Amino acid sequence: MRIIADLNELTGLVATEVAVSDWFGVDQDRVARFAEATNDRQWIHLDADRARRESPYRTTIAHGFLTLSLLPYFLEQTLRIDGLRLLVNYGLNRVRFPAPVPVGSRVRARVALAALEPIAGGAQLEWQVTVERENESKPACVASLLVRCYV
């Protein structure tokens, strides 16, 4: 875990990769629980037999939004910014899912600080997060995540 002393230290990290997470396994149980939580029960995520027969991936795949929902976990696992009172997920500027995450894959996040903008009481951080799949060159997710930090 990378520990950052305060928002001032972050200023010098703009336009750099700040952290890389550990690998995280995506199993069928997690995909099924996500399907239940979101009511997104498309067969490509849940029906392994049909996926083997009909899917171009030959297996079930994670929902793109499941991959996206891991971003807060990856940030929490990789970074700690001291001196903050509160962190708020402020939204996303851009999200793409260039490649699938087949069930049984492992993913990790590369986290770069794209921008830091002062706001009342703190700063807005724009994290460029690239979720990569083990042994694959194309990322599974690329997202611009906005986080508001209050001191």
Where in the chain are the domains?
Answer: 2-25+63-150
Residue-level pLDDT, tens digit, the chain, 151 residues:
999 999 999 999 999 999 999 999 999 999 999 999 999 999 999 999 999 999 999 999 999 999 999 999 999 999 999 999 999 999 999 999 999 999 999 999 999 999 999 999 999 999 999 999 999 999 999 999 999 999 9
The pTM (predicted TM-score) of the whole model is: 0.94
Q: How many CB atoms lie within 10 A of CB 139?
A: 20
In CATH, the architecture of 2-25+63-150 is: Roll (3.10)
- DSSP state letter for 140: S
- Answer yes or no: are the C-beta atoms of 149 and 81 closer than 8 Å: yes
- Answer yes or no: are the C-beta atoms of 147 and 89 closer than 8 Å: yes
